[in-house]
Amino acid sequence: MLPQVQKVGGAMNSISIGERLWFEETLLGATLNYRSSENPGSVLFRVGISYQSLRDCNAALGKDACLWTIRDGSLSIYGDPEELTLTFCSVEGEFLETGVSLHGRELALFRYAVDTLSSKQKALLN
């Protein structure tokens, strides 16, 4: 089953991975959003990921053992083809950290989203 993709004006706008995890497409790549709980006042992590970083992440996800960290340290991904753990970390102000494990359908949706978004810029340049 394909992920829920919301479109605005014919262009992809967001890809939902789960209730609290989703990508939003941006001009420079994408933003990965994670709400730590379902409370409206809960911590929301927003990690901007460039097209180049999405390609690097996609390559890491294709290996038997994945270990990838975005340059500013706000997101780390590690795991294997069966399960990935995403660790979100604040980079300014009060130190906040939370993690989420993806497996099954959510893992497949996450991999699909990274692959789709990482190839977007190539398609636009052709």
Output the domain CATH number for residue 85: 2.30.31.40
Tell me the pLDDT tens digit for each residue of 52-79.
Answer: 999 999 999 999 999 999 999 999 999 9
From CA 60, how far away is CA 93, in angstroms rounded?
30
Mean pLDDT for back-to-back runs of 10 residues, the chain (126 residues): 47 82 94 84 87 96 96 96 95 89 96 93 52
Structural domain count of the chain? 1
The tokens describing 112, both together, are: 């699909």
CA distances from 47 to 13, 22, 71, 89, 100 (A): 16, 11, 11, 10, 14
Domain that holds residue 64: 4-125
